[in-house]
Amino acid sequence: MNDVIDTLVGIAPGSKLDAIRAQRSEARKHAQASYVSLFEPRDRGGVTADERQAVAAFVAGLHGEPRTNAFYAAKLPAGLSAAVAAAVAAAGSNGPYGRFPKGPLSAEDAPGPTWKVSEAGRKALGPRLAAAFEHTHMLVFHPRDAAPPSLQRLLDAGWSTTDIVTLSQLVSFLAYQIRVVAGLRVLAGSQT
């Protein structure tokens, strides 16, 4: 498989951006290995391929990254792709929000909305993805507010503890991937 970050940026072999990425060959290799382990694992465990792609498209949509969103959404069945797009449209926010423990960082506390999937969204996504999307929204927009009740909602929706780790890894990887892609696109724009 081609390097997914190269694909998302549109990096051609032998280009200036290819040479820049080659300077960080270990980072490039490990980013691709992370993608493969999360999206093409030998053993998917309890997280289906559609759930992985749906969470990825949702994260990319929340970050306002249309090319990455389209990349992951294209791998979904049409009905699920439409449900993910509707969830992204409903869940958009600015963030990050949350509260720090009492102390000097409390000055950076920022209140913000907590998003819940609508009833129509729950029907379209099903209980597992609805819970996953609410948790994902919290991780993206309320990272300081992670707490046991959020994890319990995932368990109640049928996610195992191993599945929850996979879900969190997906969200974290996508945040990294989106930032790398955005930075490389800025570099690409400065070289024209």
Domains in the chain (CATH in brackets) are: 4-190 (1.20.1290)
Q: How far apart are CA 88 and CA 82, in angstroms?
A: 10
> CB of 159 within 8 A of CB of 131?
yes
Is residue 98 pLDDT above 80, yes or no?
no
What's the pTM value of the predicted model, to 2 decimals? 0.90
CA distances from 109 to 94, 106, 138, 179 (A): 14, 5, 15, 24
Is residue 191 pLDDT above 80, yes or no?
no
Confidence category of residue 187, pLDDT binned at 50, 70, 90? confident
Residue 94 confidence (pLDDT): 80
Adjacent-strand bridge partners of 98: 110
Residue 26 confidence (pLDDT): 92
Find the Cα–Cα–Cα–Cα dihedral 132, 136, 139, 145, rounded to 10°. -50
